């Protein structure tokens, strides 16, 4: 009767010199450290895919049986954490990132946060338990200036590659991919001023979020540059990123005499249009509205929405490249890569009405 020549991976191989351990033998064959071999065999994250394959190949060549969880071909997984699916910009980012990952042989694990469901930390625990190669965060808790950043520091210390989209935090040593919020406000305000508007309002979310802070700063700078107005606090309304939030902000800004509104999202812009009509105003004849994101179907609203377009495809590609470079062990600058947005002019903006306040 013949017996298999393969050995359980947990068994000590015949030592060439009486001292060589199982891990040392595999490590030597794969050209890696024993700790790296241990991480691979235990299914831990933070090992580049090429390194992981080299270790498993060494296991096969040396005649060991792989641990049962590694015997089937494992798909490299990447966690993708997004705030919600209601705002169409987030599914757009998710789809774009998914496509970029798939082209490189990786599969995203989509994690969507909800008020009554799992939150970011819960998802991170689940993802790390599954041994994901890395995590991409889109507008996550990192963008909130009140958030404890220790959660991200712990992941970095563990060697798990992470990348952030929007919400730059200098304290986190990881790659950030951001839209240029300041440039976006400059584009929107300049467009409206060229149409004769001077009482221009800004509807954005809570000012504890980095993108909102930047939008407010960009709006103030643009208003001073193009209208000479230095004090614009009465023209800024902080609310929630939703249709209802946009409507609430529009109500306040219209009562304050605004003839145009720049919104922090397309959903807010739609809320502003709805509220303007409820107050007997026409868009764009009485009130011009600019959105932000250029979400799907926005070109088909009534009226088609003028908006600032985030370069979602380019930003997604950059985020995936940065993450997979980190996974492969290649050095990636722990800095912010900023993408300049584009103003898309449609029919929700027009010349200021005669009653617009000038001066």
Q: Supply the CATH number for residue 172's domain.
A: 3.40.50.2300
Task: Name the pairing type of β-strands 306-309 and 342-344.
Answer: antiparallel
Cβ contacts of 184 within 8 Å, gap of 6 or more? 215, 218, 292, 308, 341
> Is residue 93 domain-shared with residue 141, that is, in the same domain?
yes
- The boundaries of the domain holding residue 35 are 7-70
For 81-113, write each residue's pLDDT tens digit: 999 888 999 999 999 999 999 999 898 999 998
Q: How far apart are CA 333 and CA 328, in angstroms?
A: 14
> Is residue 165 domain-shared with residue 235, that is, in the same domain?
no
For 176-211, write each residue's pLDDT tens digit: 999 999 999 999 999 999 999 999 999 999 999 999
Q: Provide the number of structural domains found in the chain.
A: 3
Q: How far apart are CA 328 and CA 335, in angstroms?
A: 18
Residue 231 inside a domain? The answer is: yes
> Is residue 168 domain-shared with residue 250, that is, in the same domain?
no
Residue for token pair 């930003």: 315
> Is residue 242 domain-shared with residue 318, that is, in the same domain?
no
Residue 347 inside a domain? The answer is: no
The tokens describing 62, both together, are 């040396």
Q: Angle at CA 274, nearest 5°, toward 272 and 279?
A: 90
> Is residue 87 domain-shared with residue 100, that is, in the same domain?
yes
End residue of a domain, out of 310, 326, 350: 310
> Is residue 168 domain-shared with residue 185, that is, in the same domain?
no
Residue 7 has pLDDT above 70, yes or no: no
* In the chain, % of residues over pLDDT 70: 89
Residue 56 inside a domain? The answer is: yes
For 240-279, write each residue's pLDDT tens digit: 999 999 999 999 999 999 999 999 999 999 999 999 999 9
> Is residue 45 domain-shared with residue 66, that is, in the same domain?
yes
């Amino acid at each position: 009767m013949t017996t298999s020549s393969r050995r359980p991976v947990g068994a000590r191989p015949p030592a060439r010199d009486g001292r060589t351990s199982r891990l040392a033998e595999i490590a030597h064959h794969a050209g890696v450290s024993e700790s790296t071999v241990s991480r691979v065999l235990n299914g831990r994250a933070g090992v580049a895919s090429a390194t992981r394959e080299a270790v498993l190949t060494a296991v096969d060549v040396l005649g060991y049986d792989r641990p049962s969880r590694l015997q089937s071909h494992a798909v490299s997984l990447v966690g993708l954490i997004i705030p919600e699916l209601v705002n169409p910009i987030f599914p757009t980012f998710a789809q774009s990132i998914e496509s970029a990952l798939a082209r490189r042989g990786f599969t995203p694990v989509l994690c969507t946060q909800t008020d009554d469901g799992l939150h970011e930390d819960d998802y991170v625990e689940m993802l790390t338990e599954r041994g994901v190669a890395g995590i991409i965060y889109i507008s996550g808790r990192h963008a909130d200036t009140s958030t404890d950043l220790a959660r991200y520091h712990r992941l970095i210390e563990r060697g798990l590659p992470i990348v952030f989209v929007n919400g730059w935090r200098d304290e986190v040593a990881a790659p950030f991919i951001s839209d240029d919020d300041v440039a976006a406000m400059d584009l929107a305000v300049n467009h409206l001023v060229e149409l004769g508007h001077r009482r221009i309002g800004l509807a954005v979310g809570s000012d504890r979020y980095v993108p909102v802070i930047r939008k407010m700063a960009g709006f103030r700078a643009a208003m001073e540059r193009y209208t000479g107005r230095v004090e614009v606090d009465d023209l800024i309304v902080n609310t929630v990123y939703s249709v209802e939030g946009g409507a609430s902000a529009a109500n306040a800004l219209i009562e304050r005499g605004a003839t145009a509104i720049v919104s922090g999202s397309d959903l807010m812009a739609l809320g502003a249009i709805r509220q303007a009509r409820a107050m007997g105003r026409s868009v764009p004849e009485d009130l011009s509205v600019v959105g932000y994101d250029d979400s799907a179907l926005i070109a088909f609203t009534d009226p088609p929405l003028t908006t600032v377009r985030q370069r979602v495809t380019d930003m997604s590609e950059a985020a995936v490249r940065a993450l997979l470079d980190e996974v492969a062990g290649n050095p990636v600058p722990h800095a912010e890569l900023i993408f300049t947005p584009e103003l898309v002019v449609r029919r929700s903006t027009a010349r200021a009405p005669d009653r617009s306040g000038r001066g």
